[in-house]
Amino acid sequence: MELRNSTLGSGFILVEILNDSGFPELLCATVTVLYMLALISNGLLLLAITMEARLHVPLYLLLGQLSLMDLLFTSVVTPKALVDFLRRENTISFGGCALQMFLALTMGSAEDLLLAFMAYDRFVAICHPLKYMTLMSPRVCWLMVATSWILAFLSALGHTIYTMHFPFCMYWEIRHLLCEIPPLLKLACGDTSRYELIIYVTGVTFLLLPISAIVASYILILFTVLHMPSNEGRKKALVTCSSHLTVVGMFYGAATFMYVLPSSFHSPKQDNIISVSYTIVTPALNPLIYSMKNKVVMGTLRRVLGKYRLLLHSTL
């Protein structure tokens, strides 16, 4: 095969799921609605957490960071996919592809680590409530947030640089929603077997270790909840934890499929569907899952929106 120089002027062709589906217009409308839902719901949740003093506690600080990551994650992918579909132009420059990969990996890895820290927060709140403000002090909480961002940044930077250093074959067609490691490696003309092993090890580290920590936390939480004397206390604890477990299942299931399962289990169509789930669907649903059953968040949103409504009426 001929090789093509990997320069910033070179470009890839993204054959996205929007162009490769049987009903592209319907799918485009659905993706647009989900993206708007992600923007509005995550934006409102961030606004409520920022405006309400009662929500300035570790649980909601971590939840606010999750909303920020979801907002950035979906914005790295969705607008580009929609604009490309409407303009019927699916090219992305070499530099643009590298940037998109770096940002998507950063947001995804940061969210992966943050979800594990959120599980630890619930474990401390339910199993050690008297030590909660010590074990989850503002300093500890911000350390968790900083750790998520820094480790994700370093991992994403290393993987992006190494992935983009490979020589790519002449036909630069990426059959995927975004520039991501697995579909790009299929275009590489060099030997990628060692790097695929590194990706597997990184995937296990960034996915299976946090999952193990989450499972261990919730096993201990379950034992504690079962021994609670109050039915109301058990119900409240289970409702809070069920929201987190739903988000964990959606995110880790998709990410594990992409980065831990061997390449023989992958197909372009499956990979596209999985990528849509964690870059578009999950960011839209996460704030709804966390806020719908949370009376404090819903009450705060109503008060904040009420204030803005009154302010709008007074200015008109």
Instruction: Please tell me the predicted confidence (pLDDT) of residue 8.
Output: 43
Instruction: Please tell me the predicted confidence (pLDDT) of residue 303.
Output: 79
Question: Which DSSP letter does residue 188 get?
Answer: B
pLDDT per residue as tens, the chain (316 positions): 444 444 444 678 877 666 666 677 888 889 999 999 999 999 988 988 888 888 888 989 999 999 999 999 999 999 998 888 888 878 888 899 999 999 999 999 999 999 999 999 989 998 898 999 899 999 999 999 999 999 999 999 999 999 998 888 756 788 788 888 888 888 888 888 888 888 888 888 888 888 899 989 988 988 888 877 777 767 767 776 777 788 888 888 888 877 777 666 667 777 778 888 888 999 998 888 877 667 777 777 777 777 666 666 666 5
Distance between CA 62 and CA 57 in Å, rounded? 9
Question: Of 2, 17, 62, 302, nearest to 178 (Cα)?
Answer: 17
The residues, any chain, with a CB within 8 Å of residue 43's CB and separated by 6 or more, are: 71
- Amino acid present at 306: G
Q: Is the dihedral of CA 47, 239, 273, 19 positive or negative?
A: negative
Instruction: Please tell me the predicted confidence (pLDDT) of residue 159.
Output: 93
List, in sequence order, every beta strand (DSSP E) within the chain: 3-4, 11-14, 91-93, 168-169, 173-174
- 117-160 confidence digits (pLDDT tens): 999 998 999 889 899 989 999 999 999 999 999 999 999 999 99
Instruction: Please tell me the predicted confidence (pLDDT) of residue 314.
Output: 65
Considering the entire predicted model, what is its pTM? Answer: 0.87
Q: Which two tokens stand for residue 126?
A: 């339910």
Question: Of 133, 138, 262, nearest to 197 (Cα)?
Answer: 262
* Cβ atoms of residues 195 and 174 within 8 Å: no
Instruction: Please tell me the predicted confidence (pLDDT) of residue 11.
Output: 75
Pairing verdict, β 173-174 and 168-169? unpaired
Coil, helix or strand at residue 89: coil
Distance between CA 177 and CA 163 in Å, rounded? 17
Q: Would you say how long the chain is, in residues?
A: 316
Instruction: Please tell me the predicted confidence (pLDDT) of residue 139.
Output: 92
Coil, helix or strand at residue 189: coil
Instruction: Please tell me the predicted confidence (pLDDT) of residue 113.
Output: 93
The class level of CATH for 13-311 reads mainly alpha
